[in-house]
Structure 1
Amino acid sequence: MNESPESRSVIDSGGAPDTTLPIVVYALFLAGIVTGGLTMLVGVVIAYVYRGEGPHWFDEHYRYQIRTFWLALLYFAISALLMLVLIGFVTWLVVVVWLVIRCVKGIKRLQEQRAPDNVDAWLI
C-alpha cells in the first residue's frame, strides 16, 4: 500500500501541526539519561528524518533537538575525560541538568506552538 503525501504530513485536519513526534523526541532525549544515550540516538534520527516537513517554528524544534544531541555528546565526552581527575562526576551531573532544562524548555515552547529560544546557544 502506497503512502500518500497527505498521510505523512505533520498537519492535522484542523490546520495545526501535530506536535506528538517532537514531544516523543524530547522524551527520548530525557530517557537517554537512564539508557546511556541509546534513546537519544533514536531521537536524533527521528529529528533528522522529519525536519523540513512543517512550518518554520516546527522545523526549528528539530534543529534544536539535533543541536542538543551533538552538544550533549560533546559535553558527556568531556565529562568522561574529566572523570580521570574526579571532577567529571560533577560535570556529568551539570550536563544532565542542562539536558533536562533544554528538553523542558523545548516542550514548553512546542506546546505554545513557537520556536525554541536561542537555537544556536551552547548552553541553555
Structure 2
Amino acid sequence: KLYAHNHMISRREASHDIKLQAANPSTELEQIMWRLYEEYEMEMNLLEPFEPAKQVDEQQKKIDFNVSGGIIESQWAMDSFTFTGTASLVDIAPDGSPNVNVNISSQRWKKIV
C-alpha cells in the first residue's frame, strides 16, 4: 500500500544494507505511525492519481489545480511542496481521449500550519 519512486525500503534493508539506525517499533508505535501515514495519504490524495485529462472535457475546458508533492511536518509547523497550475483541453483525439496541456505556474513550499 505504500507508494515510492522505485520501491519501499524495508527496515531490514535500511539497517543492514544502508546502515541507518532503523529499529522495530512496538505494536503501539507501529499503529501510531500507520495512522500518521493514513493522514498524509488523505492530505495528499495518494489514492487518487493526478490525472488532469480526466478532469477536463468539452464543458469544463480548463481547470486550476494545487497538488501537494510532499509534506514536511514538525511539532512547530507543517509545510507542503505544492504544484500550482492549469490544465486545458486542447482537443479530443479520434479515439475519444482528450489531449490536455498542463501548465505549472509555480512549485514551492507552502506553510499549512
TM-score w.r.t. length of structure 2: 0.30
| Larger relative contact order, structure 1 or 2 (CA cutoff 8 Å, min sep 6) | 1
Indicate the structure with greater strand content.
Answer: 2
Indicate the structure with greater helix content.
Answer: 1
TM-score w.r.t. length of structure 1: 0.28
